[in-house]
Structure 1
Amino acid sequence: MINEEFVIVATKNQGKVKEFAKLFQKLNKKVRSLADIDQVPEIIEDGISFIENAEKKASIIAKYLNTTVIADDSGLCVDQLKGAPGIYSARYAGEHGNDNLNNNKLLNELNNLNIEPDENGCLSKAQFVCALVLVNPNSNQVIKVEGTCEGRIINQPRGECGFGYDPLFYLPQYKKTMAELNVEEKNKISHRANALKKLYEILK
């Protein structure tokens, strides 16, 4: 169990922090991010899987702060690109976290394959993946879960909500991209939402 009043989320991404805050609100826990903490150690994400990277982040920060930490590693896996960008999603175009550059590179890579878009403008099947790892250094508790969301990559970005590859990730059941969904809709079906549901079932 988590005994601390606060749970630290090992990210500075405020979009992710908001999603985590909703989950832990159900457990009467507050969430803080790395943006609230000074001088956190730099972590090199050199794992070969989403789970490895998430566990490394959670373990290092939990040990450093001596408190419960949850970390995620998430990304986009595109079928026609043999699973790329995968664990390199955030730095696909070379600059970490530059959504525009990453999206442009993704479309360029698919366009180079001369794929004929379908009637919805989709170029390839794809999957969002989110690995979550919670580490409690005081009880040696480690929880690992993974969530996914299936969709398609569309040939033009659509929508103003969300972040990352959301404007290119088309959901056939909604006939919208992830970036065209409102927060409530996204939190029902996203890869992170699905991983959080699994974590919640374990923690509750």
Structure 2
Amino acid sequence: MKVVLATGNQAKLIEFISLMGDGIEVLSLKDFSNLSDIIEDGDSFKENALIKARETVKYTGMVAVADDSGLEVDFLAGAPGIYSARFAGEPSDDKRNNDKLLSLLHGVPWEKRTARFTCALAVVTPEGEEYLTEGTCEGYILGEPQGSEGFGYDPLFYYPALDKSFAELGVEIKNSISHRARAFLAGRDVIKAVLEKRKC
């Protein structure tokens, strides 16, 4: 049984393969040539995940899985949201994004710095069936970066349950509790059921 994950990110691919387990071959966009860039112009994580999955199905003819994720800060009315990767403009730059976030939250008290990482996962079949799952991870935005691992907003995202920033957790622990892991785990049974049905 095969499925294609709509990503060229090797770390994300490895994480997904480990969650799916044996018996399912997972391909990525790097296994296909001449695939045009997918324009993610949806208004939500779910819409963008569906856009990526639909386009990948069209091109590959295979069951496609795609995710879209980002940071939502309550004090900023949910920003940066779907614009998380390019919050400070093009080209995407983690440090500039973090600096902008810190600037916007300067002087904001701790209790108002609540935030979450959100991930939407879409599963789309060549027959047009569509499924969505979502994972979230709640926390707070720190006043300064802490930790040297991870990427993106990880150094600023404090996870209360472990009393550390995401950048202090290490990859293995982070991947076990992250928004993406939760969305992938929620979608795992859906993906397996879809692939089993296609075998019949």
- TM-score (norm. length: structure 2): 0.88
Do the aligned residues in 1 keep the contact of 2:123 with 2:191 (CA within 8 Å)?
A: no
Equivalent in the alignment of 2:16 = 20
**Alignment CA distance shift 1:48-1:39 (3 Å):** same
Query: Secondary structure, in 3 states, of the residue corresponding to 2:136?
Result: strand
Fraction of identical pairs, as percent: 50
Matched, 1:29 2:18: no
Corresponding residue number in structure 2 for 1:42:
37
CA distance in 1, matches of 2:105, 2:175: 28
Residue 74 of structure 1, CA deviation: 0.3
Q: Does 1:194 align with 2:182?
A: yes
Aligned residue for 1:173, secondary structure, equals helix
User: How far is the alpha carbon of 1:194 from its aligned partner?
Assistant: 0.8
RMSD: 1.8
1:129 aligns with 2:155: no
1:78 deviates by: 0.2
Structure 2 counterparts to residues 63-74 of structure 1, below 5 A: 63-74=58-69
Please say which of residues 10-19 and 148-157 is displaced more in the overlay: 10-19
**2:162 aligns to what SS in structure 1?**
coil
Runs ≥4 residues deviating over 4 A: none
* Greater CA drift, 26-35 or 124-133: 26-35
Greater helix share, 1 or 2?
Answer: 2
Q: 1:53 to 1:182 in 2, by over 3 A?
A: same
SS of match in other structure, 2:113: strand
- Contact 1:91/1:98, CA 8 A, preserved across alignment: yes
Q: Which residue of 2 aligns with 1:56?
A: 51
Q: CA deviation at 1:19?
A: 1.5
Task: Indicate the SS of the match to 1:108.
Answer: helix
TM-score (norm 1): 0.86
Q: Indicate yes or no: 2:162 matched with 1:174.
A: yes
Say whether 1:141 aligns with 2:129: yes
CA distance in 2: counterparts of 1:60 and 1:38, whole angstroms = 14
Taking the aligned partners of 2:92 and 2:9, their CA distance within structure 1 comes to 9
Distance 2:31 2:165 in 1: 32
Is the 8 Å Cα contact of residues 169 and 178 (structure 1) preserved in structure 2?
yes
Q: How does 1:76-87 map to 2 (within 5 A)?
A: 76-87=71-82
Flag structure 2 segments of 5+ consecutive residues without an equivalent.
193-200
